[in-house]
């Protein structure tokens, strides 16, 4: 499997509204943390999640979280 690009080595904190979201898994989207279709032609596809209520979300910005799409601190161990 291909490795994702690392758009940033920190969480992307967003005040989310309820509803479906498509998290970028490839790291190439210009609309981080959301998918903009940049993965087309690769082995990646967006991870769709449902945000049940308005809340602050810490999306994974490095694309290496063990609990995607949410930040788990994995960015702190990246080179």
| All structural domains of the chain with their residue ranges | 12-70
Summarize the confidence of residues 48-77 as an average pLDDT.
Answer: 98
| pLDDT value of residue 30 | 98
How long a stretch of residues is the chain?
A: 79
pLDDT per residue as tens digits for the range 20-48: 999 999 999 999 999 999 999 999 999 99
For the chain, what is the mean pLDDT?
A: 96
Q: Is the pLDDT of residue 17 over 70?
A: yes
| pLDDT value of residue 2 | 86
Please state the pTM of the whole predicted model.
Answer: 0.94
Strands (DSSP E) contained in the chain are: 12-16, 19-23, 47-51, 55-59
CB of 69 closer than 8 Å to CB of 33: yes
């Amino acid at each position: 499997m291909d490795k994702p690009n690392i758009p940033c080595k920190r969480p992307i904190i967003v005040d989310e509204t309820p509803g479906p979201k498509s998290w970028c898994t490839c790291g190439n989207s210009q609309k981080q943390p959301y998918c903009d279709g940049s993965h087309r032609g690769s082995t990646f596809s967006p991870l769709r999640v449902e945000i049940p209520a308005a809340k602050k979300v810490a999306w994974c910005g490095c694309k290496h979280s063990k609990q995607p799409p949410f930040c788990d601190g994995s960015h702190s161990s990246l080179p």
